[in-house]
Amino acid sequence: MLAGINDVWRRFDAGLITTKEEFSANYRKLVETIEGGGAKLILIEPFLLNVSARRPFRPYVSEFAAAVREIAGGRIPLIPMDEIFKGLSQDIAPAQFAADGIHPTHRGSRYIADQVVKELKKIIR
């Protein structure tokens, strides 16, 4: 399950503020509802690539990513996509993965999919 960062974006374009606590409560409710139906989950951190126009978003995305890690708590598989993209962006231009820092390009989508497949393989063995 990957939640985007619209809650962060709305802070900047509409003045609508979602706190980490609100995000956590909403996300936790989604997780509980999905698990309550018997489904297994893989959580994916929300991510933001280092593109200059989106740098003000960073502290909030980091808070929400931390919330997802807390909810996973070692119990639910977690793909640390924000951390993975930070590492990849040391050697490859961030825009290769998300031109606007948020919405993945084909290359970024493929990388996310590869990470999901790795986790699925662990689950279905």
Name the residue among 84, 69, 79, 87 with its Cα closest to residue 123: 79
Other beta carbons within 10 angstroms of residue 111's beta carbon come to 18
Sort 39 into a burial class: Cβ within 10 Å, 0-12 / 13-18 / 19+: exposed
| Global model pTM greater than 0.85 | yes
pLDDT at 124: 87
What's the pLDDT tens digit per position in 4-32?
899 999 999 999 999 999 999 999 999 99
Please report, rounded to a whole number, the percentage of residues in the chain having pLDDT higher than 90: 91
Q: How confident is the model at residue 85 (pLDDT cuts 50, 70, 90)?
A: very high
Q: Say how far apart CA 25 and CA 73 lie, in whole Å.
A: 15
Phi-psi region of 41 (alpha: psi -120 to 50; beta: other; left: phi over 0): beta
